[in-house]
Amino acid sequence: MSSENTFDVIIVGGGPGGYIAAIRCAQLGLKAACVDDFTGKDNKASLGGTCLNVGCIPSKALLESSHHYEQLNHGLENHGIKVSGVKIDIPAMIKNKDDIVGRLTGGISGLFKANKVTSFHGRGKLLAGKKIEITTNNNDVSIISGESIILATGSRPIDIASAPIDNKNIVDSTGALDFDKTPKKLGIIGAGVIGLELGSVWSRLGADVVLLEAQDTFLPAADTKIAAEAKRQFKKQGLDIKMSTRVTKATSKGKKVTVNYEDSSGEHTIELDKLIVSVGRRPNTDNLFAPEAPIELDERGFVEVDEIWQTNIAGVYAIGDLIRGPMLAHKASEEGVAVAEVIYGEEPEINYAVIPSVIYTSPEIAWVGQTEQHLKSAGEKIKIGTFPFAASGRAQALGDTTGMVKMISSVETDEILGVHIIGPQASELVAEAVLAMEYSASTEDLALTIHAHPTLSEALHEAALAVDNRALHIPNR
């Protein structure tokens, strides 16, 4: 095999784990190649994986557009701004989303060129001997070889037999990003992060949204107090959230969807214009490895790796949604950097205890660390401080006072164990908490940190003070 087809590292997958790994490998002087098969709307190669193409970025673009529309219709009266005759142009909104995606995915191609990463467009399969078979859309096949391999093919939506996707009336999260008009009645199977975000988009634009969630607990990964407030706010916005609900059958006919579901009160039927299936994601391992290169999977289909992200085959690594842990782009990116450095000979670390989670609804929800319910069930002695945005001067000026900051620390050491936020710009505010916890900060450390006034971040300062009943802008209990 010619040297042109031999690389120090081959990355299979061009999403936030894969493309970051490729760039970091190149920065370290390794000859890197990235194999990715995603094709954009223009039928051309489009790097960035699910995140940039049909996940994080496009959904946030739609959330932002729909938020502007909502604000113009209902959110500016208190500021003395009166607007009438506001209209939404759905095709223009979708085009803006697509333009943003195009700029960012094109930016990755530019970064690959700048860092001398070789890019292959096609489906990659691991063969024996750390070789990768590449199959193009035209079924042309070629083989390249690497000293090390990083598998980063991400995940895809889970299908359910009771609601088969037809990409017309019944869609997955990808299809929900490209509606040509607002459905009058929209159903969503699943009230998790994706379901809530997509539901928020189309609810703001005028859809009557019902979410059918099989679990008994709303947002079980979130702190119970934050989840309860979130559910209250979403219901106030008009989202109909039905818990402990199992969809038994969804039938698409003409321009309608008929959904049969069961709950504690019996069997029910509803008719919808569109149905989004959003019940989770599963790792993309189908046809990823040849029989002669068997990669071990766990009982849930995730790739088994050791403490340096190496699979059962020496020199073959896996990151991101392929392995256990939260399916988050920023988690995959950190693993991409770490594995590149492992291959180079360094000993990187990732602090999985301080990976933040965010839900980009309105109000935004963000958290890092452990929840009150988890700590109490583990027998930890904890202190809790909360501060409502209603007492924040900056939030009052913004006209967005929903929610709170909740901070949890250890009774013995005062170390911050968890920070949970629901409210304006929670996605940005949580970064301060992540940094504090990365350095094992105490609430006293945060209380001694001077925050600019007036800012939303003062709510974290006040929550830290409230842990020891020292809050200055609310009564202490």
Partner residues linked to 281 by β-bridges: 157
Domain boundary among 279, 299, 324: 279
Compute how many other C-beta atoms are within 10 angstroms of the C-beta atom of residue 433: 27
pLDDT-based confidence at residue 3 (cuts at 50, 70, 90): low
Q: Do 146 and 14 fall within a single domain? A: yes
Distance CA 350, CA 85 (A): 51
Residues in the chain: 477
Rg (CA), the chain: 24
Domain presence at residue 472: no
For 365-431, give the DSSP string: EEEEE--HHHHHHTT--EEEEEEEGGG-HHHHHHT----EEEEEEETTT-BEEEEEEEETTHHHHHH
Instruction: Say yes or no to pLDDT of 4 above 80.
Output: no
HSE at residue 230, side-chain half, CA atoms within 13 A, is 35
Q: What would the pLDDT profile of 311-359 be if each residue is shown by its tens digit?
A: 999 999 999 999 999 999 999 999 999 999 999 999 999 999 999 999 9
Q: Which is the catalytic residue, given 121, 420, 453, 473?
A: 453
Distance CA 95, CA 270 (A): 32
User: In the predicted model, what is the mean pLDDT of residues 55-84?
Assistant: 95
Distance CA 286, CA 295 (A): 12
Phi/psi of residue 118, nearest 5 degrees: -85, 130
pLDDT for position 74: 87
Query: Is 268 part of the annotated catalytic residue set?
Result: no
Domain presence at residue 418: yes
Phi/psi of residue 299, nearest 5 degrees: -65, -15
Look-up: residue for tokens 């078979």? 133
Regarding beta strands 256-263 and 364-369, do their DSSP bridges make them parallel or antiparallel, or are they unpaired?
unpaired
DSSP state letter for 311: -
Rounded to two decimals, the pTM is 0.96
Partner residues linked to 32 by β-bridges: 9
Distance CA 451, CA 440 (A): 19
HSE at residue 224, side-chain half, CA atoms within 13 A, is 7
Q: What would the pLDDT profile of 125-181 be if each residue is shown by its tens digit?
A: 999 999 999 999 999 999 999 999 999 999 999 999 999 999 999 999 999 999 999
Distance CA 370, CA 372 (A): 7
Phi/psi of residue 120, nearest 5 degrees: -120, 130
Q: Do 212 and 66 fall within a single domain? A: no
Domain presence at residue 477: no
Distance CA 150, CA 307 (A): 15
CA torsion angle 454 457 458 462 (round to 10): 160
Q: Do 381 and 329 fall within a single domain? A: no
Give me 395's structure tokens.
Answer: 């939030």
Residue 100 domain boundaries: 3-157+282-350
Q: Do 17 and 145 fall within a single domain? A: yes
Domain count, the chain: 3
Distance CA 275, CA 166 (A): 10
Instruction: Say yes or no to pLDDT of 81 above 60.
Output: yes
Q: Do 391 and 290 fall within a single domain? A: no
Q: Do 113 and 176 fall within a single domain? A: no
Domain CATH code at residue 185: 3.50.50.60
Partner residues linked to 404 by β-bridges: 388, 422
